[in-house]
Structure 1
Amino acid sequence: MKELYLTDCYLKEFDATVESVKDDKFVILDQTAFYPKSGGQPNDTGKLVSEDGTEFPVIFVGKFGGDISHEVSNPGLKTGDKVKGIIDWDIRYRFMQYHTACHILSAIIHNETGAMITGNQLGEDKTRVDFNLEDFDREQIASYESKVNEIIDRNIPVSIDIMPREEAFSIPSVVKLKDAFPPEIEEIRIISIPDVDVQACGGTHIANTGDIPHISIIKAENKGKNNRRVYFKFADE
């Protein structure tokens, strides 16, 4: 299966052929722009439209055993059917904005404190970043907000590159993730925000930091020993 979102995050519609259907609702296509739930980013929703115009709403997308499965709420699709996939763009775009903002905030936290980012979860209304830090300075965390917004205002282009494994692991910010990639993975997808962050990532991202609304840090939590969590949302909401 060709994962179209890996190279073009802005693809809203695509044509595909149904390769298999299980239980009349789990559909595998030969290619897809639907992002499957993974890496803290929720799955895309939308619809598949058959050649006769019948619509099959896509309510969940997941990756299982290397295949991306689209769960549809209406039965009727068959192997060999030609369909047009249409992404719920407003929701996808919001996740793209939040995901790139998450990379910026995570880079600032790491650069300021040396903390390792241990997780994140994107949402439609807010997003969280988890990091490993012993001392919890709420004033320092509050200062991250203005630093993220300053980077947003610099209108920095965000690039996506697929690199050979060894080339990717020559990048200092990526090599620490080496153990997360099994040896059979020969190419690594790299998200670059020049002078801010270079990171291996499979998610969808905005093309320019200037397309992200200013953020507002709304909560900072102590989740236990060396486990800290920060929530942020877009400031204009």
Structure 2
Amino acid sequence: MGVPGEKNAPRPPKDLAESELFAVDAYRRSFDSAVLDVDREQNRVALARTAFYPGGGGQPHDLGELRWDGGSCQVTKVTREGGQIWHWLDAAEPPGNGVEVFGDIDWQRRHLLMRTHTALHILCGVIWTEYQIAVTGGNMEPGKGRLDFPLEGISTELGQRVERRINEEIDRAREVVVDFMGRSEADLDPALIRTAANLIPREIDPLRVIDIVGLDKQADGGTHVTSTADVGRVAVTGTSSKGKGNKRIRLEVTSG
């Protein structure tokens, strides 16, 4: 499994563990499943289970391939909609209901996104440690991303200090643990949801939590590496003001 600490952590909800494979094992590169539903108008399928991340929290959706007896195609888009995870296909004719398929994730892209997402959590942890302020916005693509914070000011010097601190935390090889926490327990920790606005619906219970042990712990649905050491080196590529009380820090993952 790609989830360290699993033997000691609360078990994920059974339906989640069986259907959303990315949520319990970010290192799962391939899987088999049955087609659960077909939307021919939009050329997409929902599967009984999937390792394709559907996007969310600023992390883009996965890409990859589906294969079945007599056919194969690229997965060009994945989203969560109406309680299902839909996979858009470039096939002229998608597989029908009940057809057994084999899914392959574009692993090079996924792993770079995992490293990037974890780097952003390290940035979040560094800023929280020094300023105790929440994130106001963020986004990422493979290898680069940005977070916004309600800092009073921003400077090149601050960016340099943050870059140094991020790479120090990478060198510490902190374990990155996936945990699941009941909503009532999570509500007791105001630092657990690190966005300025709590956008996680109340009906999501338990919460999936990413814990960079000793640095950053927050509710998150994305995919991550298992140690900060796996991120590689990080460069802060820009600092800018996006208005009063909203300052942006950009970073890139430069090696790994």
TM over 0.5: yes
**How many residue pairs end up in the alignment?**
236
Unpaired runs of 5+ in structure 2? 1-14
Query: Which structure: greater strand fraction?
Result: 1
Separation in 1 of the partners of 2:23 and 2:239? 32
The residue identity in structure 1 corresponding to 2:60 is P
Q: How far is 1:176 from its partner?
A: 6.6
SS at 2:192's partner residue? helix
Separation in 2 of the partners of 1:186 and 1:220? 36
Q: Does 1:8 align with 2:32?
A: no
Q: Does 1:28 align with 2:46?
A: yes
Alpha carbons of structure 1 residues 141 and 115: separation in structure 2 relative to 1, 3 Å: farther
User: 8 Å contact 1:110–1:117 — kept in the other structure?
Assistant: no
Q: How far is 1:30 from its partner?
A: 0.8
Q: How far is 1:225 from its partner?
A: 1.7
Q: Does 1:143 align with 2:127?
A: no
After superposition, what is the alpha-carbon deviation per residue over 1:21-61, rounded to whole angstroms, capped at 9, x for unaligned?
A: 11261110011110012110011000111034x21210000
Match of 1:152 in 2: 170
Alpha carbons of structure 1 residues 179 and 101: separation in structure 2 relative to 1, 3 Å: closer
Q: How far is 1:179 from its partner?
A: 4.2
User: 8 Å contact 1:168–1:190 — kept in the other structure?
Assistant: no
The residue identity in structure 2 corresponding to 1:32 is T
Separation in 2 of the partners of 1:3 and 1:59? 18
Deviates more, 1:121-130 or 1:199-208: 121-130
Match of 2:210 in 1: 191
Residue among 226, 231, 236 paired with 2:250: 231
After superposition, what is the alpha-carbon deviation per residue over 1:172-215, rounded to whole angstroms, capped at 9, x for unaligned?
A: 42167694333322210011111100110000010011111110
Match of 2:131 in 1: 113
User: 8 Å contact 1:158–1:191 — kept in the other structure?
Assistant: yes
User: 8 Å contact 2:134–2:194 — kept in the other structure?
Assistant: no
The residue identity in structure 2 corresponding to 1:217 is V
Residue among 58, 63, 68 paired with 2:85: 68
SS at 1:57's partner residue? strand
Q: How far is 1:130 from its partner?
A: 1.3
Match of 1:17 in 2: 34
TM-score by length of 2: 0.86
Q: How far is 1:131 from its partner?
A: 1.3
Separation in 1 of the partners of 2:74 and 2:192? 37
User: 8 Å contact 2:45–2:94 — kept in the other structure?
Assistant: no
Alpha carbons of structure 1 residues 185 and 35: separation in structure 2 relative to 1, 3 Å: same
Pairwise CA RMSD: 1.8
Deviates more, 1:173-182 or 1:132-141: 173-182
Structure-to-structure mapping, 1:65-214, within 5 angstroms: 65-74=82-91, 75-174=93-192, 179-214=198-233
After superposition, what is the alpha-carbon deviation per residue over 1:130-170, rounded to whole angstroms, capped at 9, x for unaligned?
A: 11222224312220111111111111111001122122233
SS at 1:99's partner residue? helix
